């Protein structure tokens, strides 16, 4: 079965354009979902919108968007009126500029989508645009309308296609200084940093998301399985926090624990490869939040 698109339109580079579709890059379909029930009857409950004054149920056909302009005063806006606000980016990903990828602050990245041509006629133009972006080693900045909202989107080559990542606006990214200003500089023995560095080296590995299981999801599944079988859930002994209050002692004990854990199976630190270096993202410079592109 063909993958379903969440958006269809055209990608445009100057006068070159082709039909493309956006496909979700992630899925939550396998996650456990709960329904809300009436505890007394065990029946599912349903949500209803209630008029705040008359306390009567408002059916979906009588619901309308409202923008508050004062206390209890709203401007009503129909869906048709919003649909009439047609922007070029409603059906077109118009690439406006190209920027060095390392200049894009990671905090601005939001949701990633796969982008691919939707018909054979568009394949050639799509490949031309994709390969030109790849050869230049740049990332494209474009606009797109998703869910009636115009978003900036970052375009990068990925294998045979493109990956587009929507970007947060400048006013959506908080200034880090408001959080970090309270962190005061301290002087500590060099040995402490050396011990911490040793722990980091002992844990060096390549990024592999398959290693990170959702332990909470697994615990929920086990809970449901036990309840369905009418058996009490076995409680796993929780790990007690360490009583070490001295930072130097904690670091030394951590180093000893890491050595004991890795005894008999030495793992060589990951080697830097050309492919890894190319894929790695340099940390963004500390700058004030600003809109990319």
Report DSSP letters for 207-273, one per residue: --GGG---HHHHHHHHHHHHHHTT-PPPPPPPPPPP----HHHHHHHHHHHHHHHTTT---PPPPP-
- pLDDT score recorded for residue 168: 96
Residues in contact with 8: Cβ distance below 8 Å, sequence separation at least 6, in sequence order: 19, 20, 21, 22, 91, 118
- Altogether, the residues listed in the chain come to a count of 293
Strand bridging mode 92-100 / 7-13: parallel
- pLDDT score recorded for residue 246: 82
Give the percent of the chain with pLDDT over 90: 47
Long-range CB contacts (< 8 A, 24+ apart) of 288-291?
Answer: 288/175, 289/105, 289/107, 289/108, 289/170, 289/173, 289/174, 289/175, 290/170, 291/108, 291/152, 291/167, 291/169, 291/170
- pLDDT score recorded for residue 66: 95
Which segment, 29-43, 200-214, 244-258, is predicted with the most confidence on average? 29-43
pLDDT tens across 51-69, in order? Answer: 999 999 999 999 999 999 9
Angle, helices 190-202/247-261, rounded to nearest 10 degrees: 30
Q: How confident is the model at residue 257 (pLDDT cuts 50, 70, 90)?
A: confident
Q: Across the chain, what does the average pLDDT equal?
A: 84
CATH numbers and ranges of domains, the chain: 7-27+85-167 (2.40.290.10)
- pLDDT score recorded for residue 277: 41
């Amino acid at each position: 079965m063909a993958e379903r698109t969440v958006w269809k339109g055209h990608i445009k580079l100057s006068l070159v354009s082709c039909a493309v579709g956006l496909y979700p890059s992630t899925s939550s379909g396998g996650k456990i979902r709960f329904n809300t029930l009436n505890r007394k009857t065990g029946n599912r409950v349903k949500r209803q919108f209630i008029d705040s004054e008359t306390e009567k149920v408002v059916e979906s056909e009588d619901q309308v968007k409202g923008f508050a302009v004062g206390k209890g005063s709203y401007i009503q806006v129909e869906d048709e009126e919003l649909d009439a606000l047609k922007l070029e980016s409603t059906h077109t990903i118009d690439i406006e500029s190209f920027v060095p990828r390392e200049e894009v602050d990671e905090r601005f990245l939001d949701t990633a989508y796969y982008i691919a041509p939707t018909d054979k006629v568009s394949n050639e133009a799509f490949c031309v645009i994709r390969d030109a972006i790849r050869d230049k080693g740049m990332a494209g900045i474009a606009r797109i309308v998703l869910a009636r909202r115009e978003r900036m989107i970052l375009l990068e080559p990925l294998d045979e296609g493109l990956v587009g990542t929507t970007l947060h606006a400048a006013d959506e990214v908080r200034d880090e200084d408001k959080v970090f200003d309270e962190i005061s500089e301290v002087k500590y023995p060099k040995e402490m940093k050396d011990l911490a560095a040793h722990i980091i080296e002992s844990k060096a590995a390549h990024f592999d998301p398959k290693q990170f299981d959702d332990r909470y999801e697994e615990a929920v599944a086990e809970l449901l399985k036990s309840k369905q079988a009418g058996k009490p859930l076995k409680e796993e002994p929780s790990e007690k926090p360490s009583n070490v209050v001295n930072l130097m002692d904690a670091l030394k004990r951590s180093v000893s624990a890491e050595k004991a854990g890795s005894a008999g199976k030495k793992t060589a630190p990951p080697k830097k490869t050309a492919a890894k270096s190319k894929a790695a993202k340099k940390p963004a410079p500390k700058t004030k939040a600003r809109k990319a592109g």
